[in-house]
Amino acid sequence: MKILVINPNTTPAVTDTVAEAARAAARPGTEIVPATGEFGAVVIGSRAENALAAHAVLSLVAQHAAGCDALVLAVSLDTGLWACRELLDMPVIGMTEAGLMAGCTVAARVGVLTFGARMPQLYREIAASYGLGARLAGVHALDMPAEQAYSDPDGVQAAVLGGVKQLVERDGAEAVLFAAAPMSPLAARLQHLSPVPLIDGVAAAVAMAEAMVGLKLPRAKVGSVSPTGGRAMRGVGAELSALFARKPS
């Protein structure tokens, strides 16, 4: 099984992080095919940067999805999730979606930990859009940029543990999802110091993608995620145009 793992951030180090997390979670025999964003933000950290990243995701999909069995969006805003589901004939799983679902099987309410004071609202919106707002215990943002996970790993670890503690004690979280690709490796590393399960969305997404590949569900022929039946797009590059133009098999 080949799983395309897309990091729309334009930073290869983030891709390396999520690819490693994906490989650690994948079953034997599952190949991880990582891809890095070709344009946009170094590390997506705002609504506008995320809007652009959706295009970057679709461009990567158009180039790399052929031959793959599933797509994992290794970006914690699950950028372009439903657009990819509409375009592709394979399971598409977002790391935050999968992390929330996994969390909901071990915890009555899940806390979310991320970087940057402007981000909690976005995760509240995402959880609500999945219909899972009632399962969200709270969102806590570390007061540092995501990039610091690379430049100051020890400082970030301490902050992460403090954030977990706050989500558990103040918000009643019974599990904590790490909603930031650069935080992925910390879930396993810090688990023994946490009173609740720590969930790496990348690992959860790979496991969920493998599960969905096994279920072999077909595409819907009707409704909001069904194939469009071939659409002409202007000015978007040959591979992406071809993807949009494709007729349903």
* 49-88 positions binding a copy of itself, by CB under 8 A: 49-52, 54-55, 57-58, 80, 82-87
Residues 146-165 that bind a copy of itself (CB under 8 A): none
Decide: residue 89, CB within 10 A, 0-12 exposed, 13-18 middle, 19+ buried.
Answer: exposed
Smallest distance from a copy of itself to CB 96, Å: 13
Residues 194-223 that bind a copy of itself (CB under 8 A): 195-197, 199, 203-204, 207-208, 210-212, 214-215, 217-223
From 15-23, 46-54, 149-157, 178-186, give the range in contact with a copy of itself by CB under 8 A: 46-54
Options 20, 135, 150, 246; binder of a copy of itself; rule CB under 8 A: 135
Q: Tokens 């995320």 — which residue? A: 50
> How far is CA 6 from each of CA 35, 37, 77, 132, rounded to the nearest angstrom?
5, 8, 12, 24
- What is the contact mask toward a copy of itself in residues 6 to 45, using x (rule: CB under 8 A)? ----x--------------x-x----------xxxxx--x
The tokens for 217 are 């569900």
Residue whose C-alpha is closest to residue 110's, from 161, 202, 179: 179
Smallest distance from a copy of itself to CB 23, Å: 13
3-state DSSP call for residue 55?
A: helix
Smallest distance from a copy of itself to CB 223, Å: 4
> How far is CA 139 from each of CA 2, 67, 164, rounded to the nearest angstrom?
33, 37, 10
* Bridge pairing between strands 70-73 and 31-36: unpaired
Using the 8-state DSSP alphabet, how is residue 106 labeled? T
109 binds a copy of itself (CB under 8 A): yes
- What is the contact mask toward a copy of itself in residues 226 to 245, using x (rule: CB under 8 A)? x-x--xxxxxx---x---x-
